[in-house]
Structure 1
Amino acid sequence: MNKFMIIVGHTYTNRLKSKAFMITTLITLLFVMAFANLETIIGLFSGEDEEERVAVVEEGANLFEHLQGQLEPYESEVKVEKFEGTEQEAKDAVTDGDYVGVLSVSLAEDNIPQGTYYTEQISEYKVSSLLEQALQQLKVTVASQSAQVEQATINEIMSPVAFEKVSLKEDAKTEEELSQTRGLVYIMLFLLYFGVLMYGSMISTEVATEKSSRVMEILISSVSPVKQMFGKIFGIALLGLTQFGLIVLVGYIAVQQNKEFLDSTSISSYLGFSNIEISTLIYAIVFFLLGYMLYATIAAVLGSLVSRTEDAQQVMTPMILLIVVAFFLAMTGLSNPEATYVTVTSFIPLFTPMLMFLRVGMLEVPMWEVAISLVILVATIVALGIIGGRIYRGGVLLYGRSSSFKDIKKALQLTKKE
């Protein structure tokens, strides 16, 4: 047990001090802080102090006051000013930087308002879309008045229809609960995807590096290969917990400092942070850890088959493709978690960590289904641990360029000779 802990500690400290880990962690922490301070960053680069002024030129129309009234709720985003001059003079004012654009308003043959917007940056859509929306509303008003339709009738027609979704199942989640859970599940799927991908690659690279430096020859004479394999798996797992712990801590501090902004924009509510169910968090932790153990064991075995770090990524490709497939299925399943393919694949061990977590997060899944998926997943991890340990025992003795997965057979043969 002491030798096992030495391997865990060595793997942990070796990776903790690496430049790659420090840079990755720093970039992630900066991203978390940037997200929490999104309002301040947007304010710095959006130029809020500069008014988006638009000159309005009327050609045979008297619509400026009505147009101004339509845009009053968006005065902080765009401000229209009546231009006393020709259209060309207004365009020259835009070129000089006095206005962001010119809106030329006129009446068509049927007395319906129409407009042309001139600006230097036609790719800018915020101002133009607001002007188009205001002109559209003005068109409806003018057309309705021409047809002698009362304003109350117009308001009733334009008001959104009352539509509510109600499930016939008593234990089904409401639309609001689904919306909140979807955000949390989305984040957890990303964490699981990148976590398994990153830490799995670390494990395979760690094994390959030791083999290339011939350190493995010293290790196998004092510590059993199985202890080495699981020592590296748990060492990288401890590293992952350290990294995620830092991210959660910095994220919590940043959220608390910007709580007012997050609450006002409903970001925390949308992401599911305002009403997190304990059961969802427990499932997230369980499936994350089991998913890590599953793929980490595979990564360690694959890493033992190569003796060069440049070959480690190549031999990891099939496992990475499986993770990508699982992630793709989970992402598409977010919009339809009750789909048959989601249900079926949630019982396949390699896909269970993502797909079953998606289901338990979004739906009311019977406990027996969750239990069966967990039993299958744990049994697969145990089986991979036993078989993988035997492959690893012989794999660490293989040197030279790895040609194919036929090396697994060679590794098993070396194990039998011991």
Structure 2
Amino acid sequence: MNNFWIILSHTYMSKVKTKSFVVTTILTLAIVVGLSNMTNIIEFFNKDAQEKIAVMDETNQLLEPLQEQLNVMDSEIILEQYDKELADGEKAVEEGEYSGLLVLEFDEGSLPVATYKSMSISDTNSSSALQSGLQQIKTQMAANQINLSQEQLAALYEPVPMERVALAENAKTEEELNQARGLVYVLLFVIYFAVIMYANMIAMEVATEKSSRVMEILISSVSPIKQMFAKILGIGLLSLTQMALLLGVGYFSIKQNLDSMEGGFFDAFGFGDVPVSTIIYAFIFFILGYFLYATLAAFLGSLVSRIEDIQQMITPMTLLVVAGFMIAMFGLGKPDASFVTATSYIPFFTPMLMFMRVGMLTLPAWEPILGIVILLVSIIVLAIFGARVYKGGVLLYGKTSSFKDIKKALQLTKSDKN
């Protein structure tokens, strides 16, 4: 067991001290801080970024009400009456004097129509704001033409009241579903990126040591099971260290911007009433999903002799993760679909799909427990099989980037026993 801890600590410390890990972590932390303060950053750069738009109001009625509507919408657009010729207005836009030129007219029904000219139509923010403001004016003018009162107009646009009632016993309310959907959405991304990133790191670690022939020494003194799981746990601790830093910095950075909001951090994002059991299941399925894919990555990494061949070998594993994630995204809108239910019992999809169903539905206790059992059995089977492949795979050299090499690795393991 002493050798196990030596390999584990060496794997962890050697990775945590690498320049790539430190730089990546610092850059990711900077991105987290930037994203959590995105509103403040946008406001800082846009505080003096008012857009001035020339308006040729041929109706002599629409300019002032349109500016009022834009002010209500908190738009930064300033409208300015332009009395020269159309060609002069277009030239002023080309020279940068105005952001755009808006031409206002009445149609045959005495309702507003507009033409907006700018250097590019790729920026839709200004045109959308102008169109929204004109839509409000048009609605009011049309209502006046048919003598609708404000109360009648409000009743016309009022949404149809519709209450959704779940007949199933202990079914979640709409509010609980919205809270669960948000949390599940976030945690699915965490599971997805963690598995993709750190499983690849395990495969790369094994391939790197193998290419340096260090593996020939290690395999003779440490059992393959110990060696494989020491690396898996070492990279796992590394991932938890990095994720703890990211979550901690993100939490405090966001919390500083929520001082004016009522409630705590989770209440501000609508997660205040999420059941504790959902959080527990999230942790369990994340850990089990990590070990499942990490074990798979370790013995796939042992089959290659060159680091360049890693991506080719683990591509099928990556596609499994992507497939599970895509099905989970579909399941967020229809978690009780039979297809989602069936695939949630496939081991490589279970970490994401079963967790998604636990968060979105009121499942009987046996379903998530069965999912956990399936994952545990799959990890044990994959670990036993993986250890046999690992022991022979690390002794394979030359061009070894095909899944046919699994058979060769098993033959080497058998011959080693004999």
Normalised by the size of structure 1, how large is the TM-score? 0.91
1:201 alignment partner in structure 2: 200
User: Is residue 299 from structure 1 mapped to residue 297 from structure 2 by the alignment?
Assistant: yes
1:25 alignment partner in structure 2: 25
- Relative to structure 1, the CA distance from residue 169 to residue 79 in structure 2 (aligned partners, 3 Å threshold; closer, same or farther) is farther
Contact 2:312 2:401 in 1 (8 A): no
Q: CA deviation at 1:145?
A: 2.1
- Relative to structure 1, the CA distance from residue 245 to residue 148 in structure 2 (aligned partners, 3 Å threshold; closer, same or farther) is closer
1:144 alignment partner in structure 2: 143
2:49 alignment partner in structure 1: 50
Q: Following superposition of structure 1 onto structure 2, how do residues 10-409 of structure 1 map, counting pairs within 5 Å?
A: 10-45=10-45, 47-88=46-87, 90-95=89-94, 97-260=96-259, 263=261, 272-409=270-407
Q: Which amino acid aligns with 2:341?
A: T
Structure 1, residues 59-90: CA drift from partner, whole Å, max 9, x if none? 24433343344333125432334445555555
- Relative to structure 1, the CA distance from residue 375 to residue 181 in structure 2 (aligned partners, 3 Å threshold; closer, same or farther) is same
Greater shift in the superposed pair: 180-189 or 86-95: 86-95
Contact 1:56 1:64 in 2 (8 A): yes
Q: CA deviation at 1:405?
A: 2.0
Q: CA deviation at 1:116?
A: 2.0
Q: Which amino acid aligns with 1:386?
A: I
Partner Cα distance (2:396, 2:248) in 1: 43
Instruction: Give the match's secondary structure for 2:220.
Output: coil
Partner Cα distance (1:57, 1:403) in 2: 68
Structure 1, residues 359-411: CA drift from partner, whole Å, max 9, x if none? 11111111111111111111111111122222222222222221522222222
Q: CA deviation at 1:293?
A: 0.8
Contact 2:332 2:356 in 1 (8 A): yes
Partner Cα distance (1:126, 1:107) in 2: 24
Instruction: Give the match's secondary structure for 2:323.
Output: helix
Gaps of 5+ in 2: none
Contact 2:56 2:104 in 1 (8 A): yes
- Relative to structure 1, the CA distance from residue 137 to residue 253 in structure 2 (aligned partners, 3 Å threshold; closer, same or farther) is closer
Contact 2:258 2:268 in 1 (8 A): no
Partner Cα distance (1:253, 1:60) in 2: 54
Greater shift in the superposed pair: 66-75 or 172-181: 66-75
Partner Cα distance (1:163, 1:88) in 2: 53
Computed over aligned residues only, the root mean square deviation of the Cα atoms, in angstroms, reads 2.4
- Amino-acid identity (%): 52
Contact 2:11 2:231 in 1 (8 A): yes
2:410 alignment partner in structure 1: 412
Partner Cα distance (2:393, 2:94) in 1: 71
Instruction: Give the match's secondary structure for 1:114.
Output: strand
Q: Which amino acid aligns with 2:178?
A: S
Greater shift in the superposed pair: 402-411 or 384-393: 402-411
- Relative to structure 1, the CA distance from residue 84 to residue 407 in structure 2 (aligned partners, 3 Å threshold; closer, same or farther) is closer
- Relative to structure 1, the CA distance from residue 76 to residue 87 in structure 2 (aligned partners, 3 Å threshold; closer, same or farther) is same
Contact 1:183 1:270 in 2 (8 A): no
Partner Cα distance (1:119, 1:207) in 2: 57
Instruction: Give the match's secondary structure for 1:259.
Output: coil
Partner Cα distance (1:270, 1:280) in 2: 19
Q: Which amino acid aligns with 2:299?
A: V
Partner Cα distance (2:41, 2:266) in 1: 18
Instruction: Give the match's secondary structure for 2:226.
Output: helix
Structure 1, residues 135-167: CA drift from partner, whole Å, max 9, x if none? 222222222322233332122212333233232
Structure 1, residues 73-112: CA drift from partner, whole Å, max 9, x if none? 1254323344455555554554554433332222223322
- Relative to structure 1, the CA distance from residue 91 to residue 175 in structure 2 (aligned partners, 3 Å threshold; closer, same or farther) is same
Contact 1:393 1:411 in 2 (8 A): yes
Q: Which amino acid aligns with 1:5?
A: W
Q: Which amino acid aligns with 1:192?
A: I
Q: CA deviation at 1:286?
A: 0.4
Structure 1, residues 224-275: CA drift from partner, whole Å, max 9, x if none? 12211111111111111111111111112212222247x59x9966855444
Q: Which amino acid aligns with 2:301?
A: G
Contact 1:61 1:107 in 2 (8 A): no
Q: Which amino acid aligns with 1:31?
A: I
Instruction: Give the match's secondary structure for 1:4.
Output: helix
Instruction: Give the match's secondary structure for 1:103.
Output: strand
Partner Cα distance (2:133, 2:109) in 1: 19
Partner Cα distance (2:313, 2:133) in 1: 59
Q: CA deviation at 1:170?
A: 4.3
Partner Cα distance (2:414, 2:269) in 1: 52
Q: Which amino acid aligns with 1:30?
A: A
Contact 2:289 2:351 in 1 (8 A): yes
Q: Which amino acid aligns with 1:254?
A: S
- Relative to structure 1, the CA distance from residue 77 to residue 167 in structure 2 (aligned partners, 3 Å threshold; closer, same or farther) is farther
Partner Cα distance (2:60, 2:143) in 1: 17
Greater shift in the superposed pair: 19-28 or 370-379: 19-28
Q: CA deviation at 1:282?
A: 0.8
Gaps of 5+ in 1: none
Q: CA deviation at 1:221?
A: 2.3
Partner Cα distance (2:411, 2:95) in 1: 81
Greater shift in the superposed pair: 288-297 or 217-226: 217-226
Contact 1:182 1:271 in 2 (8 A): no
